[in-house]
Structure 1
Amino acid sequence: MNDVNASNSNAIDDTDVQPADETPITAATNTTATISSARTTHTSLWHNPQYRSWFTADTASATGLALKSFAISLVAFSLTRSLPTAGWLATASVIAAQISGVFGGTLADRHNRKRLIILNAACGTVLWGTVCAMLATGLLTFPVFAVAIVTASTVNGLLGNATNAMLRSIIPTADYPKAQSLNQGRDSVISLAGSPLGGMLYAFSAWAPFAAASLMYAVAGVSASMLRVDEHARNAIGRDSTDDDITGGMSSRHGSFIDDFVEGWRWMLRRRTLMAICVIAALLNFGINGIFATVQLQLVGSGVDSVRIGFVDMATGAGMLAGAVIAARVCDRMAVGTGLIVMSLAALATMTPMLVSRAYPVILVSSLLCCLPIPTLNSLVLGFVFAKVPTDMQGRVDSSSNLLGMLPTLFCSAIAGSLLPTIGFRMTVALFLTALAANVTIVLAMPAVRSIPAADRWDEAEL
């Protein structure tokens, strides 16, 4: 699923994150584990050297992503002087990542995940290092830049699922809500520092954010190489599990790539609650991402300096950071259904002021407030889905649900870039607000979603 995440808000995801345990988890037994206290959970996580290596690798790659993502629209606009072109490049990047990600989940379930993480980091280091060098020497053209962006997105889509899927082999299921709140806090800090830092680096020179991103991906690769996790355990889980509630009555033994690919989709499409969550995620992602894309392109087109644009992402990061603190306190006790209702209402209410004003302070305040409930929602929803999906299918369910939850969002930047010059800021925002209003109606009208319980009763709920 897709995280609602600061400047690139993906409402409900496992962004960027998902957990596991060095001891094989069979069937659904661990879904009933009692969630430990915040202190106990945090201690167990940080005392686990494998989790520390995983967290470092994931943090470095997330930092690299934040630094280079901020500069992409600015570089594209500087090369073309066209808002629609800059918007369509961002859309092409997301489409490439989502299409390749559909197959990436199956790759993550069939191959050594550590090697996939290292390969992804190596590709990021080389690609962004090349973009940096070409910008520094004045050789970069828009077609070359576009190819680099789409290639990087494709590689990340194919290989990026391995990071999330591997976490199930590192920490226990019961630790997931707290691990997710930690990751949300980490992502919030990156948003707070990453975009302003990216803006300052870009103000220094257009190549600087890409140089920093290349370095961060190199750090991610080195950290991933330190992981020592026996991934053969997940194959044993698939062979030994006989619980039809978890496997859906299907064998988890690996067949051909196509067989495994189809099996993952079949398993997911049979889960009604999961499909409903995907619909909700799609509407939230489309509405929130669309408004943020509209804001960024409006500021870029208006000639606002890169540092001030970066402060918008800083505001969303501040909201996420404060929200992560709240999530750490309530994610053990709050019902998932309650979190979905709160997030849906909050997204609509906090984004509506931009319909009547595009003043910079209004944008900052709305962005901050919208992100406050996101970490709690991500911790609840991703924890629930994580606990109900068998270990050997984490990658496939992750990629499939991501595609469904992000499908309308693929076109947010293109829609915003195309509509801004024709119908203006307010009407473009109104279009995305309509999606958020539709989502509120759906959430309130679906008892199956509203009734999803808190973590200590997940064993009673169906996915």
Structure 2
Amino acid sequence: MAPETVPLRRNRRFRTLWAGSAAAMLGTCVADTAYPLLLLAMTGSPTLAGAFGAVQFGASVLFGLHGGAVADRHDRRRVLIVADTVRLLTALSVAVALLAHRLTVPHALLAAAAIGATMAYGGPARMLALRAVVPPEQLRQALSQDELRVNGAALAGPPLAGLLLGLGRAVPFLATVLASAAALGASVAVRFDSGTTDGTTGATTDGTTDGATDAGKEKGAVFAGLRYLLTDPTLRATVLVTVALNLAGSAMLLAVMVLLRDHGASEAGTGLALTGEAVGGLLGAPLVTRLHRTLAPGVLLLAVAWSAALLFLVPAFAVGPVVVFAALAAMSLGVPALRVMLDVLVFQQVPEAMRGRAVAATMTLLMAGLPVGTMTAGLLLDHLPATTVLPLLAALLAAGLLPLTLGRSLRGTSWPKA
């Protein structure tokens, strides 16, 4: 009982898993920048450079729902260890190939597929592991600290990848080997409850769970988490609005990139402007508890979404890297509270035996919004100037939010009891 009642700063299991998750996230952010830059240097082809992200994303979506079913069916700690091991071996294979001057494009694309698959299978298990080692009354605090991990890695990863790549082609990949090893070490070092199938059984002394192998074997089990989210009115509205916000946000990012380019901003200036998203997330993480105390879930969701719709308009009327940075930072202030809100709602309401699939379904839906938003923005930007696309995106998002704002179902939601 002691580890469940001590402050988080003294909770060894939480701090160890948090550090391992931070290492994994930083390694992923470094790799996401280093691989395309490496492929571009090797081939000179922007298409092949972009293929890495496309293959990685495709593998994550393809295996996403099945990853949730595996997390519910098997011991989550073992799933996490296997995923971290595959990630480590993948990074090591690329680093060794580079040191031997034998890396090929197919090898790099296979690495992209492997990384995407480990995200699909390890992602739900890692999320559930980090939250399994804290008591319910500390959940929001733990999730707020997790937001610092996510946004800190997003801010530090790209410039770190560029710096390491300047030291040598193999250097950033050796760094991802070290990060993957740290994540694997944390997964091996910490035992945590792996979930139950009927709400009554718990983890055994060897880290497995009684009856865990029966979870997720029923017909259509892979889609059970998705069905649960879309059947529950509160969760359905929450997830769909969050997906819409993710889709519109990715479209907005491409539009502001084009806008800055058209107004003569340098690549460095554009890159710095886009860091406003991570900076806003870092600044918003300490506000999570306060926002949750002040606003009900539905009100918080609508407030963040409406503020984003309004902030879409800012770069269209006041162009410049500083303006874009400020708009993205302001837009991202409420995102940590929104992500924690979604997490709390899922963990408080979804049955334990289905949590892996519910988390995986949410992750898959959110990820699917990114390419759809970018593709939509690209089609619009082929025919319209960015100063027109941004207000159009704002109008489309507002049109989707208006019925939910006028209705009572979302505005009347309340925080579930712990």
* TM-score w.r.t. length of structure 1: 0.76
Q: Tell me which residue corresponds to 2:9.
A: 46
Q: 1:234 aligns with which of 187, 196, 208?
A: 196
Displacement of 1:273 in angstroms is 1.6
* 8 Å contact from structure 1 (residues 281, 406) kept in 2: no
Counterparts of 1:16-415 in structure 2, within 5 Å, are: 44-78=7-41, 86-87=49-50, 89-135=52-98, 139-231=102-194, 234-235=196-197, 237=199, 254=215, 256=217, 258=219, 260-293=221-254, 295=256, 304=266, 310-356=271-317, 359-415=320-376
Displacement of 1:224 in angstroms is 1.1
Query: Against the structure 1 CA distance between its residues 294 and 254, is the aligned structure 2 distance closer, same or farther, given a 3 Å change threshold?
Result: same
Work out the CA distance in 1 between the residues paired with 2:322 and 2:340: 29
Work out the CA distance in 1 between the residues paired with 2:34 and 2:378: 16
Listed as ranges, the gaps of 5+ residues in structure 2 are: 203-212
Displacement of 1:196 in angstroms is 2.5
Displacement of 1:266 in angstroms is 4.0
Displacement of 1:385 in angstroms is 2.3
Work out the CA distance in 2 between the residues paired with 1:125 and 1:317: 26
Task: Give identity over the alignment, percent.
Answer: 23
Work out the CA distance in 2 between the residues paired with 1:363 and 1:171: 38
Displacement of 1:220 in angstroms is 0.3
Displacement of 1:342 in angstroms is 1.6
Work out the CA distance in 2 between the residues paired with 1:226 and 1:449: 42
Query: Against the structure 1 CA distance between its residues 205 and 350, is the aligned structure 2 distance closer, same or farther, given a 3 Å change threshold?
Result: farther
User: Which one-letter code corresponds to 1:342 in the other structure?
Assistant: A
Q: Deviations over 1:382-424 (max 9, x none)?
A: 2122211122221011112333344332334455567667756
Displacement of 1:376 in angstroms is 1.7
Query: Against the structure 1 CA distance between its residues 289 and 105, is the aligned structure 2 distance closer, same or farther, given a 3 Å change threshold?
Result: same
Q: Tell me which residue corresponds to 2:401.
A: 440
Displacement of 1:89 in angstroms is 4.6
Aligned-partner SS, 2:108: helix
Q: Deviations over 1:361-392 (max 9, x none)?
A: 22222222211111122222321222111222
| Between 280-289 and 185-194, the greater mean CA deviation after superposition | 185-194
Displacement of 1:238 in angstroms is 5.1
Displacement of 1:287 in angstroms is 1.0
User: Which one-letter code corresponds to 2:306 in the other structure?
Assistant: L
Aligned CA-pair RMSD: 3.5
Q: Deviations over 1:80-108 (max 9, x none)?
A: 65656655653443232122111100101
Displacement of 1:237 in angstroms is 2.0
Listed as ranges, the gaps of 5+ residues in structure 1 are: 1-20, 24-40, 241-251
Work out the CA distance in 2 between the residues paired with 1:417 and 1:429: 12
Work out the CA distance in 2 between the residues paired with 1:203 and 1:283: 38
Work out the CA distance in 1 between the residues paired with 2:387 and 2:98: 35
Displacement of 1:354 in angstroms is 2.8
Work out the CA distance in 2 between the residues paired with 1:144 and 1:137: 13
* 8 Å contact from structure 1 (residues 128, 211) kept in 2: yes
Displacement of 1:320 in angstroms is 1.1
* TM-score w.r.t. length of structure 2: 0.83
| Number of corresponding residues | 407
